[in-house]
């Protein structure tokens, strides 16, 4: 029964991941509300059987973050004034509650089954869906591969070849989709750490973790004080770095060094100060005042608020919807997960995953848009693995054995038996 539930869960969230980027309509608003509700319900249904209470303490920040998100959603019911604000409030309901998946993603068998089901059914289905997807949706659909690239050296030759081929497809299909390129190249680079297992390498990883966690905050301060703007790459990268634009872009070419983020930060911060929502946020029902896009949006939606409901930068959306409180709680989730992975795990794979999780925190300040999709789901899958005592207690050999179970039925059955026995003993 649980495998059918996982299959339906993956079907809903995989289709939602490409819905916005499909050449043909995949359904209307109300259909997707129904699909997303069903997906969240299926997640909740798995918690009683697969939630390992030994991880309850480590999940504390996730619980507080979810509680704050619920408070912000409730506030949104009192703030929403028109159709569009109610629509976006409902849409964000599923996004802000998706971290509930952490309660089941600490279970080694459940995570293995999710990965196994996706690779068994949805990787082959990529050939079919590729005909209806725009090129920038390819990386979004194949996001589970991005996660497993962290463990690339542990895979069999067959699956190394398959994952490397799919990565090449992502890179070559649309080089202008910079986010997809980064999300596939970085985990592959992190996987190289498997070849440098030493005390020096471990100390370097500790330093890199701290750097990745703090550098966005440092660059934000430098940008606000006008000392240095990391996004103005044209100031320190010379040369022509234009590529052919994808189907969803305006124009024929796209400059890979173009600054497409500074004005988003300026608009969001000024809006928060003007309307006094820096600490508590503006609730998920509202957007931020945008001089750049506001007039066109008002014209299309027949409004007069100059608001853009979301931006391309994940952390700006979290700030807008849940305020500085939400950003701090979100930060603590990454801090705790990466700390446990590097300092409290018995295997090298988790230490590498800790670096990956820290990278995803940093990248949330660049893009990594929070949505009800595979990217956000598998981000919290990675975070939950770091929280999981069962995963962190594994030796290198045991983790490799677990990873084989994603693709080999014999190993999968063994992990199921072991995990369920552990849960019964708690």
Question: What is the rounded average pLDDT of the residues 97-107?
Answer: 95
Q: Rounding to the nearest 10 degrees, give the CA dihedral for residues 251, 256, 258, 261.
A: 100
Has residue 249 got a pLDDT over 70?
A: no
Please report the pLDDT score of residue 174 as a whole number.
Answer: 76
Question: What is the rounded average pLDDT of the residues 118-123?
Answer: 94
Has residue 410 got a pLDDT over 90?
A: no
Give Cβ neighbours of residue 16 (< 8 Å, ≥ 6 apart). Answer: 32, 35, 36, 39, 372, 373
Residue 163's closest CA among 137, 135, 191, 196?
191
Please report the pLDDT score of residue 420 as a whole number.
Answer: 47
Report how far apart, in Å, the C-alpha atoms of 225 and of each of 229, 366, 378, 397, 404 are: 9, 19, 35, 49, 50
Least confident piece of the model among 129-133, 206-210, 233-237, 422-426: 422-426
Please report the pLDDT score of residue 248 as a whole number.
Answer: 53
Please report the pLDDT score of residue 254 as a whole number.
Answer: 55
Least confident piece of the model among 183-192, 275-284, 295-304: 295-304
Please report the pLDDT score of residue 415 as a whole number.
Answer: 62
Residue 111 binned pLDDT confidence (cut-offs 50, 70, 90): very high
For 292, half-sphere exposure in the C-beta direction (CA atoms, 13 angstrom radius) is 15
pLDDT in tens, 19-50: 888 777 777 788 888 888 888 888 888 898 89
The span from the first CA to the last CA of the chain, in angstroms, equals 23
Q: How far is CA 177 from the centre of its chain?
A: 16
- Give the other-Cβ count within 10 Å of 57's Cβ: 9
Residue 390 binned pLDDT confidence (cut-offs 50, 70, 90): very high
Has residue 195 got a pLDDT over 80?
A: yes
Question: What is the rounded average pLDDT of the residues 213-227?
Answer: 87
For 383, half-sphere exposure in the C-beta direction (CA atoms, 13 angstrom radius) is 28
CA 259, 264, 267, 270 torsion-angle sign: negative
Question: What is the rounded average pLDDT of the residues 308-327?
Answer: 95
* 74: enclosing H helix or E strand: helix 60-79
Please report the pLDDT score of residue 357 as a whole number.
Answer: 98
Has residue 199 got a pLDDT over 90?
A: no
pLDDT in tens, 138-166: 889 999 999 999 999 999 999 999 999 99
Give Cβ neighbours of residue 226 (< 8 Å, ≥ 6 apart). Answer: none
Beta bridge partners, 243, equal: 254
Please report the pLDDT score of residue 106 as a whole number.
Answer: 95
Q: Is 385 exposed, middle or buried (0-12, 13-18, 19+ CB in 10 A)?
A: buried
Question: pLDDT above 70 covers what percent of the chain?
Answer: 88
For the chain, what is the total number of helices (H) and then of strands (E)? 20, 4
Please report the pLDDT score of residue 344 as a whole number.
Answer: 95
Contact 82, 365 (CB under 8 A): no
Please report the pLDDT score of residue 259 as a whole number.
Answer: 61
Please report the pLDDT score of residue 423 as a whole number.
Answer: 40
Give Cβ neighbours of residue 78 (< 8 Å, ≥ 6 apart). Answer: none
Question: What is the rounded average pLDDT of the residues 234-255?
Answer: 52
Question: What is the rounded average pLDDT of the residues 197-213?
Answer: 92
Please report the pLDDT score of residue 253 as a whole number.
Answer: 54
Question: What is the rounded average pLDDT of the residues 342-369?
Answer: 94
Q: Is 29 exposed, middle or buried (0-12, 13-18, 19+ CB in 10 A)?
A: exposed
Pick left, alpha or beta for residue 233 (phi over 0 → left; psi -120 to 50 → alpha; otherwise beta). alpha
Please report the pLDDT score of residue 25 as a whole number.
Answer: 72
Mean pLDDT for all residues in the chain:
87
pLDDT in tens, 368-379: 888 888 999 999
Has residue 72 got a pLDDT over 80?
A: yes
Contact 113, 2 (CB under 8 A): yes
Residue 217 binned pLDDT confidence (cut-offs 50, 70, 90): very high
State the Cα–Cα distance between residues 391 and 107, nearest whole angstrom.
8
Has residue 6 got a pLDDT over 90?
A: no
């Amino acid at each position: 029964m649980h495998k059918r539930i996982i299959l339906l869960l993956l079907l809903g969230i995989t289709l939602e991941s490409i819905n916005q980027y499909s050449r043909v309509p995949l359904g209307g608003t109300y259909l997707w509300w129904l699909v997303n509700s069903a997906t969240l319900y299926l997640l909740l249904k798995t918690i009683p059987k697969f939630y390992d209470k030994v991880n309850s303490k480590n999940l504390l920040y996730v619980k507080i973050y979810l509680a704050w998100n619920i408070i912000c959603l409730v506030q949104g019911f009192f703030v929403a004034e028109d159709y569009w604000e109610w629509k976006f409030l409902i849409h964000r309901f599923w996004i802000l509650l998706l971290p509930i998946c952490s309660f089941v993603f600490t279970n080694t068998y459940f995570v293995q089954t999710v990965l196994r089901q996706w690779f068994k059914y949805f990787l082959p289905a990529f050939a079919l869906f590729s005909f209806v997807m725009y090129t920038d949706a390819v990386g979004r659909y194949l996001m589970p591969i991005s996660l497993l690239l962290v463990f690339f050296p542990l895979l069999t030759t067959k699956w190394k070849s398959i994952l490397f081929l799919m990565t090449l497809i992502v890179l070559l299909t649309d080089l202008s989709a910079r986010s997809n390129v980064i999300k596939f190249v970085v985990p592959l680079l992190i996987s190289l750490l498997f070849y440098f297992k030493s005390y020096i390498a471990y100390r370097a990883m500790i330093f890199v973790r701290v750097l990745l966690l703090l550098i966005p905050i440092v660059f934000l301060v430098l940008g606000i004080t006008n000392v240095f703007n990391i996004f103005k790459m044209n100031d320190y990268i010379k040369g022509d770095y234009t590529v052919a634009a994808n189907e969803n872009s305006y124009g024929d070419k796209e400059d890979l060094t173009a600054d497409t983020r500074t004005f988003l930060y300026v608009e969001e911060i000024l809006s928060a100060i003007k309307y006094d929502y820096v600490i508590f946020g503006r609730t998920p029902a509202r957007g931020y005042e945008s001089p750049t896009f506001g007039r066109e949006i008002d014209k299309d939606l027949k409004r007069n608020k100059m608001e853009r409901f979301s931006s391309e930068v994940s952390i700006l959306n979290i700030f807008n919807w849940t305020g500085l409180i939400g950003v701090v709680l979100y930060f603590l989730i990454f801090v705790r997960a990466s700390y446990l992975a590097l300092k409290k795990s018995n295997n090298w794979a988790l230490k590498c995953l800790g670096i990956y999780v820290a990278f995803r925190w940093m990248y949330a300040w660049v893009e990594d848009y929070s949505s009800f999709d595979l990217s956000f789901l598998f981000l919290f899958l990675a975070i939950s693995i770091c929280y999981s005592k069962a995963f962190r207690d594994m030796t290198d050999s045991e983790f490799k054995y677990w990873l084989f179970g994603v693709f080999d039925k014999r190993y999968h059955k063994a992990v199921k038996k072991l995990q369920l026995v552990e849960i019964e003993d708690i």
